Amino acid sequence: MKRIALLGMPNTGKSTLFNRISGASARVGNWPGITVDLMSAKILIGGHIAELIDLPGIYDLHGFSEDEQVVRHFLADNPVDLVIILLNSSQIDRQLSLVLQIKKLQLPAILALNMADEAKQTGITIDTENLAKALQIPVMQMSAKYGDGLPKALQAATAIINQNQPASNPQLISQLLQEDNQIEQEMDALIQHHVQIPATLSDNTTDKLDKILLHKWFGLPIFFAAMFVLFQFIFTAGKPLQDGLAWVLNLFRADILTPLFASTPAWFSGLMLDGIYNGVATVAAFVPIIVLFFLVMSMVEDSGYLSRAAFLMDALMAKMGLDGRGFVMMLMGFGCNVPALMGTRIMRSRPMRLLTMLVIPLSLCSARLQVFIFIITALFSAKQAPLILFALYVMSFATMFLTALLFQGQYKNAEPFLLELPPYRFPTARQIILRGWHEVKHFLVRATKFIVIGVVLVWALTHFPSNVPAASAGTLAGQLGALFAPILDPIGINSQLAIALIFGFVAKEIVIGSLAVIYGLQGDALMTHMATQIDWVQAMSFMLFTLIYTPCLSTIATLKSESKSSAFMWLSIAWSLGLAWVVSFVFYQSARWLGY
- Crossing angle of helices 509-519/452-463, nearest 10°? 30
Q: Are 58 and 9 in contact (CB under 8 A)?
A: yes
pTM for the complete prediction?
Answer: 0.63
pLDDT score recorded for residue 29: 46
Q: Are 446 and 507 in contact (CB under 8 A)?
A: yes
pLDDT score recorded for residue 87: 93
pLDDT score recorded for residue 419: 62
pLDDT score recorded for residue 33: 43
Q: Are 573 and 550 in contact (CB under 8 A)?
A: yes
Distance, first Cα to last Cα, the chain: 66
CA angle 523, 528, 529 (to 5 degrees): 100
How does 322-338 read in b/e, with b if 16+ C-beta sit within 10 Å? bbbbbbbbbbbbbbbbb
Number of CB atoms found within 10 A of residue 523's CB: 20
Spell out the domain ranges in the chain. Answer: 2-196, 221-412+430-593
pLDDT score recorded for residue 142: 92
- List beta partners, residue 462: none
Can you name the CATH fold of 2-196? Rossmann fold (3.40.50)
pLDDT score recorded for residue 516: 80
In order along the chain (596 residues), what is the average pLDDT of each group of 10 residues? 89 83 58 57 85 86 72 83 91 88 87 89 88 93 88 90 68 62 73 73 70 84 81 76 83 89 83 76 71 73 75 79 78 75 74 91 86 89 88 93 92 66 74 69 62 76 80 81 89 88 78 79 80 92 94 82 89 95 96 92
- Crossing angle of helices 366-379/523-533, nearest 10°? 70
Query: Residue 140: in which H helix or E strand, if any?
Result: strand 139-141
Count H helices, E strands: the chain? 29, 9
